[in-house]
A and B are shown apart, each in its own frame.
Chain A
Amino acid sequence: MAHHELTFSEKFLFPLDHKYVGLQYMWTALFMAAVGGFMAYCFRMQLAFPGESVPLWGVVTPQNYNAFITNHGTIMIFWVAMPLLIATFGNIMIPLMIGCDDMVFPKLNRLSYQVFFVSTVVLFASYFVPGGGFGGSWTTYPPLSARAEYSLTPLGSSMWLGAVALEIVAFLIGGINFLTTTMNARAPGMKMLDIPVAIWMINIATVLFMFSVGPLVAGAIMLLLDQQLGTSFFVPSGGGDPVLFQHLFWFFGHPEVYIILLPTMGFVAEIITTFSRKKLFGYKTIIYTSFMVGILSMVVWAHHQFIAGIDPRMANIFSITTIIISIPLAIMFLAYIWTLLGGSIKFELPMMWAVAFLLEFLIGGLTGLYLGSSAMDIYFHDNTFVVAHFHYTLMPATFFGGFAALYHWYPKIFGRKMLNGVGKIHFWGTVIPFNCIFIPLFLLGIAGQHRKIYDYTHFPDLMQSGFQDLRVFATSSLVVMLCFQFLFLFNFVMGMRLGEVAGNNPWNSTTLEWACPSPPPHGNFGETLPTVYRGPYEYSVPGSDVDFLPQHIPAKA
């Protein structure tokens, strides 16, 4: 196969090469993170200083506020977490880590990004149509979302829904590529249990996505018909049932959060093994347990609906399954923690982010137990405590995990490491303010504050001494955290010019992606694709004179 030098168009406009498709997703995701972050800034400024003009925006009206919270959530989940964690690293890393020259269907891959791009354009367009952008929250419950007379956004609702549907199609297309490539195109000698955890996790997440999203697509079609043609799938006055939509939404919505979590768990596994020079503790246990997490995640959905008007007996069942899902997650966490035991740990930036993920996600996971209890959920449903809980899970998964992966694989993708000093400042400038934003939200939630509320000054019991101070503190911390992200942007761009040149394997890691040049050329490994001789984490093998045995180096005779 001829590996010609790629043209500008083949790299940046219409790439077939998996690395460049992955980079397209990455740039889009980082851009959308800025957009989503800006929306959070605007709505938090409204909460901290109600009614006042927000710098860079103006006065946040109730319509603006609802549209901001809705689109902040939608963007972060569908246009940041999934493209960054799954599409970027899935596309770039799968062929590299399984030792082949590209994805199995490059044209399908290119198409998936094109559909994703269109979905992004449609989403932005939804903000500029008459009536403005959709503001019925990312969960888009009918009848609010089903009738323009309620939502007051006749076009925005449908365009938003259409954008999400297109994003889903993009990921279904991409997912087929990931699964087929991983299953079929592995290097000779790479058995199933030699596949690195990161690749396992991306694929399990993909399967979970493909199985859980169908009912939501059906629900979205029905909702779209309710919105545009006046059908009444979900509108009681016409014979419909709004609670049915909730089931369709959350049947996907809950697995979705594990779809976002699992890839990061994969990246963290790669990183802690590399930087502790240690074999992963319980590789098989981790793989089997993540299957369990995937399966269990499909039977917990109604914990979002405990007080939604479902049969209270059903609530009991879902409360039990939800508490049970903490068990496989605890197993995975314990396996990761024990990987550190007996290690030789170096605190490079990827490792710092991986450890931050473990410590912060743990808070998110443990606070989930409050919400999985149907009895406590009576109090906490739609409460700011929920917001703090899911930010302690989703932000570590998306951003800490995303930063960990970016810092770890940046040298491979761009040929140089990111700047270390700048990176460390960025790290602390993100992690500390992050806690300063969301701990106040736990406290305010415990005190009774509900979420999605435009102006707390209307609620006397929420304006008691100390409450507004917490809101202002949280908002200020958000502003600080956002400012530090400029450092990341600087580091990301300047690293390509000023960073330390990386070479093939700057971290002395065992997996196959480090066996090719940094950056990899078109075709990745040149004329000879690698063969695999051992598992992915053979660090510090007793009796070996080097402290790591890469997968592709034959055993000594």
Chain B
Amino acid sequence: MWETLPKSLSTFSGDIDHLFWGVTYLMGFSYVVSMLVIIYLLLAFRRKEGVKAQYIAGESGKQLMLIYIPLALFVCFDMYIDTTTAEVWHKAKMELPAADVKVRAVAQQWAWTFVQEGNIETINELHVPAGQTVHVAMESSDTLHSLSIPIFRFKQDVIPGRIITGWFKSKSFAEIKAAKQSMIDRYNNRPADDKFARELPTDDAESASFDIQCAEMCGVGHGIMAARIVVHSEKGYAAWKASEKAMIDEMQDDSADAEEEAAPAEEAAPAEETHGAHGTEG
């Protein structure tokens, strides 16, 4: 029941996690020591009959060492945090490695539209290949939103009127699939009295899906603006693209036929058909 970080599935998520644990040890140490000192002082110096308190002004250099020596240690902790932060931030946010795949993400109240390679548009489902550098060009059509992919430790606010490009590169598909499997195992091995846990949406053999959350208040629908990221193996990605393309081509043929027949009452196939339906529910 003690929750720790989600699966770490991108090339920089491990660095962020490593920093997290480092800070946890340092801050945990600081807290435990401080707490023990405070409790010791409270007990050792509690009011006793006939014992007078001491007069310690804390102004002399020697007494101030009581402050400055622990402080020096704490400053060392701070320096560790600052230097490691700079490295990790540089990697995640200041570098932009060459793209293998480019996608666009358009946020609106209250859904995400993703445009993948080959102009494949999906709603609330982002499809990416594992192990390749993906550039995401993000924009909003109305308010601020924020694209958050927890398993990649990816997050970027999305602003109307601007296109902001972020990137991530996932680990290998084998690792990703294994991570998803362990999440499924967790569900299957849940305690018998667990009445809240929900089964995860299923994936086919060549893909694994995870949450995408909107991370900036965007109005009434912000709390249900759920989306999914589907990470494919190389094989699965090619297959997905092919099947999407086939559907698009079929629709274009259909609509071309329909125009030729000049049947005014018939609308083209509803837009939903182009949006990936992999059995993964949002």
Find the A residue at minimum CB distance from B17. Answer: A379
Decide: B150 and A379 in contact? CB cutoff 8 A: yes
Residues of A within 8 A of B247 (CB): none
Task: Tell me how far the C-beta of A185 lies from the nearest C-beta in chain B, rounded to whole angstroms.
Answer: 28
With A144-B143, A547-B53 known to touch, is A242 a contact of B159 (CB < 8 Å)? yes
In residues 119-164 of chain B, which contact A (Cβ within 8 Å)? 142-144, 146, 148, 150-151, 153-157, 159-162, 164
Q: How far is the CA of A331 from the CA of B75 in the complex (A)?
A: 11
Decide: A150 and B194 in contact? CB cutoff 8 A: no
Interface size on B, residues (CB 8 A): 98
Enumerate the 10 nearest inter-chain pairs by beta-carbon distance, A residue then B residue, closest first: A454-B223, A236-B161, A342-B54, A468-B196, A281-B58, A282-B58, A375-B88, A448-B150, A465-B190, A447-B3
Find the B residue at minimum CB distance from A336. Answer: B38
Asked if B215 lies at the interface with its beta carbon under 8 angstroms from chain A, I say: yes
Decide: A307 and B81 in contact? CB cutoff 8 A: no
Asked if B64 lies at the interface with its beta carbon under 8 angstroms from chain A, I say: yes
In residues 141-157 of chain A, which contact B (Cβ within 8 Å)? 141, 143-144, 150-152
Residues of B within 8 A of A345 (CB): 42, 45-47
Asked if B252 lies at the interface with its beta carbon under 8 angstroms from chain A, I say: no
Residues of A within 8 A of B41 (CB): 337, 340-341, 343
Q: Which interface residue of B1, B41, B53 has the most chain A CB atoms within 10 A?
A: B53
Asked if A121 lies at the interface with its beta carbon under 8 angstroms from chain B, I say: no
Asked if A299 lies at the interface with its beta carbon under 8 angstroms from chain B, I say: no
Q: How far is the CA of A306 from the CA of B23 in the complex (A)?
A: 19
Decide: A373 and B200 in contact? CB cutoff 8 A: no
Task: Tell me how far the C-beta of B31 lies from the nearest C-beta in chain A, rounded to whole angstroms.
Answer: 6
Bitwise, A18-57 to B at CB < 8 A (1) or not (0) is 0000000000000000000000000000000000000000
With A334-B67, A362-B34, A370-B20 known to touch, is A464 a contact of B187 (CB < 8 Å)? yes
Q: A375-B16, A382-B146 are in contact. List 9 more A-B contacts (CB 8 A).
A: A144-B217, A285-B59, A340-B45, A342-B54, A344-B53, A369-B78, A453-B213, A461-B183, A542-B55
- Per a CB cutoff under 8 Å, which of B15, B187, B219 touches A136? B219
Decide: A150 and B143 in contact? CB cutoff 8 A: yes
Residues of B within 8 A of A378 (CB): 16, 89, 92-93, 153-155
Decide: B4 and A447 in contact? CB cutoff 8 A: yes
Asked if A257 lies at the interface with its beta carbon under 8 angstroms from chain B, I say: no
Find the A residue at minimum CB distance from B77. Answer: A369
Asked if A107 lies at the interface with its beta carbon under 8 angstroms from chain B, I say: no
Decide: B5 and A447 in contact? CB cutoff 8 A: yes
Task: Tell me how far the C-beta of B37 lies from the nearest C-beta in chain A, rounded to whole angstroms.
Answer: 6
Q: How far is the CA of A540 from the CA of B153 in the complex (A)?
A: 55
Task: Tell me how far the C-beta of A269 lies from the nearest C-beta in chain B, rounded to whole angstroms.
Answer: 12
Task: Tell me how far the C-beta of A508 lies from the nearest C-beta in chain B, rounded to whole angstroms.
Answer: 12
Find the B residue at minimum CB distance from A243. Answer: B159
Asked if B269 lies at the interface with its beta carbon under 8 angstroms from chain A, I say: no
Task: Tell me how far the C-beta of B101 lies from the nearest C-beta in chain A, rounded to whole angstroms.
Answer: 21
Decide: A341 and B109 in contact? CB cutoff 8 A: no
Asked if B242 lies at the interface with its beta carbon under 8 angstroms from chain A, I say: no
With A242-B144, A315-B93 known to touch, is A366 a contact of B27 (CB < 8 Å)? yes
Residues of A within 8 A of B20 (CB): 370, 376, 379
Bitwise, A122-165 to B at CB < 8 A (1) or not (0) is 00000000000001110101011000001110000000000000
Residues of A within 8 A of B159 (CB): 236, 242-243, 308-309
Q: How far is the CA of A89 from the CA of B15 in the complex (A)?
A: 47
Decide: A454 and B89 in contact? CB cutoff 8 A: no
Decide: B30 and A366 in contact? CB cutoff 8 A: yes
Q: How far is the CA of A184 from the CA of B54 in the complex (A)?
A: 34
B interface with A by C-beta (< 8 Å): 1-6, 15-16, 19-20, 23, 27, 30-31, 34-35, 37-38, 41-42, 45-48, 51-59, 63-64, 66-67, 70-71, 74-75, 78, 81-82, 84-89, 92-94, 109, 142-144, 146, 148, 150-151, 153-157, 159-162, 164, 183, 186-187, 190-191, 194, 196-198, 200-201, 210-211, 213-224, 226, 282
With A459-B211, A547-B52 known to touch, is A337 a contact of B31 (CB < 8 Å)? no
Asked if A66 lies at the interface with its beta carbon under 8 angstroms from chain B, I say: yes
Residues of B within 8 A of A382 (CB): 146, 148, 155, 215-216
Would you mind naming 11 contact pairs between A and B with Cβ atoms under 8 Å apart?
Answer: A144-B219, A309-B156, A327-B74, A338-B67, A340-B38, A369-B23, A376-B85, A382-B155, A461-B200, A463-B198, A464-B197
In residues 446-470 of chain A, which contact B (Cβ within 8 Å)? 446-448, 450, 452-455, 457-470
Decide: B187 and A450 in contact? CB cutoff 8 A: no
Q: How far is the CA of A237 from the CA of B190 in the complex (A)?
A: 50
Residues of B within 8 A of A307 (CB): 93, 146, 155-157
Binding site of A, secondary structure by majority: helix, strand, loop or mixed? helix
Decide: B157 and A343 in contact? CB cutoff 8 A: no
Residues of B within 8 A of A281 (CB): 56-58, 63, 66
Asked if A221 lies at the interface with its beta carbon under 8 angstroms from chain B, I say: no
Decide: B75 and A327 in contact? CB cutoff 8 A: yes
Q: How far is the CA of A67 from the CA of B15 in the complex (A)?
A: 37
Residues of A within 8 A of B78 (CB): 323-324, 326-327, 369
Residues of A within 8 A of B224 (CB): 62, 454-455, 458
Q: Which interface residue of A139, A460, A466 has the most chain B CB atoms within 10 A?
A: A460
Decide: A342 and B85 in contact? CB cutoff 8 A: no
Q: How far is the CA of A472 from the CA of B194 in the complex (A)?
A: 12
Asked if A218 lies at the interface with its beta carbon under 8 angstroms from chain B, I say: no
Task: Tell me how far the C-beta of A475 lies from the nearest C-beta in chain B, rounded to whole angstroms.
Answer: 13
Decide: B89 and A343 in contact? CB cutoff 8 A: no
Residues of B within 8 A of A541 (CB): 55
Asked if A284 lies at the interface with its beta carbon under 8 angstroms from chain B, I say: yes
- Per a CB cutoff under 8 Å, which of A362, A446, A540 touches B52? A540
- Per a CB cutoff under 8 Å, which of A363, A376, A540 touches B19? A376
Find the B residue at minimum CB distance from A333. Answer: B34
Find the A residue at minimum CB distance from B93. Answer: A312
Asked if A487 lies at the interface with its beta carbon under 8 angstroms from chain B, I say: no
With A312-B93, A319-B89 known to touch, is A452 a contact of B223 (CB < 8 Å)? yes
Find the B residue at minimum CB distance from A535. Answer: B57
Residues of A within 8 A of B222 (CB): 66, 452-454
Residues of A within 8 A of B142 (CB): 143, 150
Looking at A167-175, A271-279, A398-406, the stretch in contact with chain B turns out to be: A271-279
- Per a CB cutoff under 8 Å, which of A66, A466, A547 touches B3? A466
Q: How far is the CA of A317 from the CA of B148 in the complex (A)?
A: 24
Q: How far is the CA of A278 from the CA of B58 in the complex (A)?
A: 11
Decide: A337 and B2 in contact? CB cutoff 8 A: no
Asked if A78 lies at the interface with its beta carbon under 8 angstroms from chain B, I say: no
With A63-B220, A307-B156, A540-B52 known to touch, is A344 a contact of B67 (CB < 8 Å)? no
Q: How far is the CA of A6 from the CA of B146 in the complex (A)?
A: 57
Find the B residue at minimum CB distance from A140. Answer: B217
Q: Which interface residue of B85, B190, B191 has the most chain A CB atoms within 10 A?
A: B85
Task: Tell me how far the C-beta of A379 lies from the nearest C-beta in chain B, rounded to whole angstroms.
Answer: 5
Find the B residue at minimum CB distance from A383. Answer: B215
Asked if A493 lies at the interface with its beta carbon under 8 angstroms from chain B, I say: no
Residues of B within 8 A of A341 (CB): 41, 45, 54, 56, 66
Decide: A143 and B160 in contact? CB cutoff 8 A: yes
In residues 230-257 of chain A, which contact B (Cβ within 8 Å)? 236-237, 242-243
Residues of B within 8 A of A358 (CB): 38
